[in-house]
Amino acid sequence: MEDPTRAHHRADQLSARQRFDEVECTISHLFRWPHPALGGRRYGEALLQSLASRGIGPGTSGVIEIGGGAGHLAEAAFRGEAGPFTRARWTSLDLSPALLAAQRLRLSGHAGWNGLRGDALDLPLRPYSVDGLVLANEVIADLPVVEGRNTGAVRFVNQLSRVLARGGAAVLTEFGGDFEPGPVRLYTTSGKGEHTEWSIDFRTLRAAASENGLEAEELPLHELLGVDLRMRCASYTDLWRLRRFTRCEVFAAPADEVRRRYPLLSRFLDLPELGSPRWPDASAQRGFAQLFRALILRKP
Ligand SMILES: C[S@@+](CC[C@H](N)C(=O)[O-])C[C@H]1O[C@@H](n2cnc3c(N)ncnc32)[C@H](O)[C@@H]1O
């Protein structure tokens, strides 16, 4: 029987806006435009520049992005400043027909961009063929889970070991840590797109990497991106409150900007520091700074 989360993404009909504004608003979605907490850079620029500073590049195979969502990371490399990744060859593999169509539209001017419909657990790539980067940003929590354990993410690491050539690297970002997985139920007001994801037990991924002969380095995602955690910004919770009364974009709007645009409504908002456990979700026990990790895998 097909895993329910896989079936959810394979049959996805939601628009990119509905999915990321209303169902699963990713950190990269909140930072998709140049942001002062990232030194004026987009999330994709900050991530790719940081990887380049660690000696990771596009190689001859370019970037293979798994689960590119609305295509903002690819767009940052296409239109922005992403070091050696700027306008590099970029292949996007996604299970969702709706999101792949959104990416194709966003990247229509980029001659080096290609989109493929496919599954992270069955990468259509030859063994040892990737000497560049495989990027899976907030994707692995969407892979199949058995009794709360994300067995899909472990199978994905096995796939990476198969396709990476010497010198190639992979970067996986997700929420989780060195603790037992817990469920996160994703709700919407319309009921569309609801599903459950489980936090990632990063110990199992590091163990899988080691068994497969991959070198693993893990660090907080904010450290990789160089986020100024002292900055106060709108959380999802603030944005949901605001959107009940007015139209506003779903992004990590800096507190000063929110106060200037909505002088009255902003009095009822939290606008926490990015390092607070209340950002991006005021009802969660841990936030972006405490929970989001980046795992860098290299084939030595
Ligand atoms: C939470 S979204 C993340 C999107 C984007 N990377 C971001 O940071 O906003 C998960 C993405 O993974 C895709 N996806 C889910 N399961 C997949 C699978 N088994 N194989 C390939 N892509 C998958 C979804 O369609 C979606 O594009």
- Looking at residue 117, the DSSP 8-state letter turns out to be E
Distance of CA 88 from the midpoint of ligand 1 (Å): 21
Residue 16 confidence (pLDDT):
85
Distances (CA, A) of 161 to 6, 97, 281: 22, 27, 34
Residue 217 confidence (pLDDT):
98
- The packing angle between helices 202-211 and 151-163, to 10°, is 30
Answer positive or negative: Cα dihedral of 16, 37, 273, 261.
negative
Residue with tokens 């199949």, as numbered in its chain: 144
Pocket lining: 32 vs ligand 1, CB cutoff 6 Å: no
pLDDT in tens, 138-154: 999 999 999 889 999 99
Distance of CA 267 from the midpoint of ligand 1 (Å): 36
Residue 53 confidence (pLDDT):
98
User: Which pLDDT band, with edges at 50, 70 and 90, does 188 fall under?
Assistant: low
Pocket lining: 99 vs ligand 1, CB cutoff 6 Å: yes
- Tokens representing 220 are 């907080």
Q: Which residues contact 291 (CB under 8 A, 6 or more apart)?
A: 175, 176, 177, 199, 284
pLDDT in tens, 64-90: 999 999 999 999 999 999 999 999 999
Residue 186: pLDDT over 80: no
pLDDT in tens, 99-125: 999 999 999 999 999 999 999 999 999
Ligand 1, atom 24, lies closest to the CA of 67
Distance of CA 158 from the midpoint of ligand 1 (Å): 18
Residue 126 confidence (pLDDT):
98
Q: What is the CA radius of gyration of the chain?
A: 18
Residue 174 confidence (pLDDT):
97
pTM above 0.85, yes or no: yes
User: Which pLDDT band, with edges at 50, 70 and 90, does 14 fall under?
Assistant: confident
What is 4-228+285-298's CATH topology?
Rossmann fold (3.40.50)
Residue 189 confidence (pLDDT):
60
User: Which pLDDT band, with edges at 50, 70 and 90, does 195 fall under?
Assistant: confident
Report the alpha-carbon distance of residue 164 to residue 136 in Å, rounded. 14
Above pLDDT 70, what percent of the chain? 98
Pocket lining: 159 vs ligand 1, CB cutoff 6 Å: no
Residue 191: pLDDT over 80: no
What's the whole-number average pLDDT of the chain? 94
Residue 183 confidence (pLDDT):
85
Report the alpha-carbon distance of residue 159 to residue 244 in Å, rounded. 44
Pocket lining: 253 vs ligand 1, CB cutoff 6 Å: no
User: Which pLDDT band, with edges at 50, 70 and 90, does 244 fall under?
Assistant: very high
Pocket lining: 6 vs ligand 1, CB cutoff 6 Å: yes
Q: What is the mean pLDDT of residues 219-224?
A: 98
Distance of CA 11 from the midpoint of ligand 1 (Å): 13
Domain boundaries, the chain: 4-228+285-298, 236-268
Mutate to test the pocket of ligand 1, among 42, 73, 94 (most ligand atoms within 8 A of CB): 94
Q: What is the mean pLDDT of residues 19-42?
A: 93
